[in-house]
A = this chain, B = another copy of it.
Amino acid sequence: MKKKTTLADIAKKLDVTTSTVSRALKNHPKISDATKKAVGELVEKMNYQPNNIAAALQSGKSNIIGVIVPTSDRQFFASVIRGIEEVVRKKGYNLIICQSDEQTNKEEKIIDTLLRVQVDGIIASVSKETTHYSYFEKIIQQNVPLILYDRVGEKINTNTVISNDYRGAYKAVSHLIDQGCSRIAHFSGLKHIKIYQERLNGYLDALKHHQLPVDENLIIESDLIGDTEIILDAGSEMTTHLFESENPPDGIFSSSDFAAMGAIQTLKSKSILIPDEVAIAGYSNDFSASIIDPGLTSVDQHTKNMGNNAANLFLDQINNKNETNEYKQIEIEPTLIIRASSSVKPSEKKEASSSSF
């Protein structure tokens, strides 16, 4: 049961003080090459690993960033994390990843933990339950940089990076209209969550700008966050419901890819032709959107880019500690990926071959 070697251990062997060793390690200019070399050798031989915790206590910097995701097993968040990591690891930061599981109380607990661990910053997307933000305020009060991404609390003043959901929805719906749809249904998420409200607005405005009427019966609100299977089923049910009505839609814009896929499956089982009879578009451009047949047109949110941006906001704030506290809001323009579910001639080449029915 070996003890870890410390600065003191190697100092003793060399008959110098820890300060000297410490300096040698940081390549301090006023340390003789001789001792530097000696130190270097012993470090190797004794397998010395500097103790970051001690350094952190000293400096007040842990070099750890806390990242809060509602759930880690969603491509969306995995990809954001990757984006964050890409930029911060180069700067020597580590990530502690925590999941709120979409629950307010877990979220609060996590924040407490993160603060105790003395993270240098927190990058978070709020849970679907969250409606008050007192514990997020706490982060700011403690002078810890807070960056919110995607699902941001409106009431809280801090750095944010979001995807322009209004524009994403607008693009998708306009595209459906271009393809000849005139009765477009919308699967909306819970409206108290801003991203879903924005997508709904984009949907509504697209209709208006194209002189199409809004039919409230075609707008179905449901919880689009959670277990994938459940959302698939929800999509199926909404679709069944719509197509049992007397005046079914000829297009569906879903705020969730999975609900859209449920719709595709249901329509196929009913032998309703996609996109000929109903054109469909989803949201998020999940990998499976390219796999389903027909390929699902979807709005890509550039999630990794979102992570990159969040990380950069963090770095910015770190480096401007003393400047005016101006928070930045970054908005990312989403891209519509057109596939066979909405277009007879899908523009994505890869899909062209694979989407034969």
A interface residues with partner B (beta carbon < 8 Å): 1-2, 4, 47, 49-54, 56-57, 62, 64, 71-75, 78-79, 81-82, 85, 94-99, 112-113, 115-118, 138, 141-143, 228-229, 261, 265, 268-269, 287-288, 291-293, 350, 353-354, 356
Q: With a CB–CB cut-off of 8 A, which chain B residues contact A268?
A: 293, 354, 356
A268 to B269, CA, bound (A): 19
- Subset of 12 A-B contacts with CB under 8 Å: A4-B143, A49-B112, A53-B57, A64-B96, A72-B82, A73-B82, A229-B350, A261-B291, A268-B293, A268-B356, A269-B356, A288-B291
How far, in Å, is A62 (CB) from chain B's closest CB? 6
List 10 other contacts, CB 8 Å, given A57-B57, A73-B78, A292-B293: A47-B142, A51-B116, A52-B117, A72-B85, A78-B78, A94-B117, A96-B97, A228-B287, A269-B356, A293-B293
Q: How many whole Å from A140's CB to the nearest CB in chain B?
A: 10
What is the chain B residue whose CB lies nearest that of A4? Answer: B142
A128 to B256, alpha carbons, bound, how many Å?
34
Q: Which residue of the partner chain, among B4, B288, B353, contacts A269 with CB atoms under 8 Å?
A: B353
Report the nearest B residue to A114, measured CB to CB: B94
Contact between chains at A95 and B97 (CB < 8 Å)? yes
Instruction: Give the docked Cα–Cα distance between A115 and B5 (Å).
Output: 12
Chain B residues within 8 Å of A261, by CB? 291
Q: Which residue of B lies closest to A78 (CB)?
A: B73
Contact of A99 among B85, B138, B143, B228 (CB under 8 A): B85
Task: Give Cα A143 to B2, complex, Å.
Answer: 7
Report the bound CA distance from A57 to B57 in whole Å: 8
List of B residues within 8 angstroms of A97 by Cβ? 81, 95-97
**Which residue from B73, B94, B269 sits with its C-beta under 8 Å from A75?**
B73
> In the complex the two chains form, is A118's CB within 8 Å of B73's CB?
no
Contact, CB under 8 Å: A72 / B81: yes
Name the CB-closest residue of B to A262.
B354
Q: Is the CB of A54 within 8 A of B52?
A: no
**Closest B-chain residue to A233, C-beta based?**
B350
CB-based contact A96/B99 at 8 Å: no
Shortest CB distance A250–B (Å): 22
A73 / chain B contacts, CB cutoff of 8 Å:
75, 78-79, 81-82
Interface centre among A2, A97, A292 (most CB of B within 10 A): A97
Contact partners of A4 in chain B: CB under 8 A: 142-143
A99: which B residues are within 8 A, CB to CB?
82, 85
Q: What is the CA–CA distance of A344 and B1 in the complex, to the nearest angstrom?
A: 59
| Bound-state Cα–Cα, A82 to B112, Å | 20
Whether B95 lies near A269 (C-beta < 8 A) is no
A166 to B2, CA, bound (A): 38
Q: Please indicate the chain B residues that have their CB under 8 angstroms from the CB of A143 in the complex.
A: 1-2, 4
From known contacts A78-B73, A95-B96, A356-B268, infer whether A118 and B64 are also in contact, taking CB-CB under 8 Å: no
Complex CA distance for A2 and B116, rounded to whole angstroms: 16
**Which residues of B lie under 8 Å from residue A2 when comparing CB positions?**
141-143
User: Within the assembled complex, what's the spacing in Å between the Cα atoms of A229 and B138?
Assistant: 43
Which residues of B lie under 8 Å from residue A50 when comparing CB positions?
A: 116
State A52–B228 Cα separation when bound (angstroms): 37
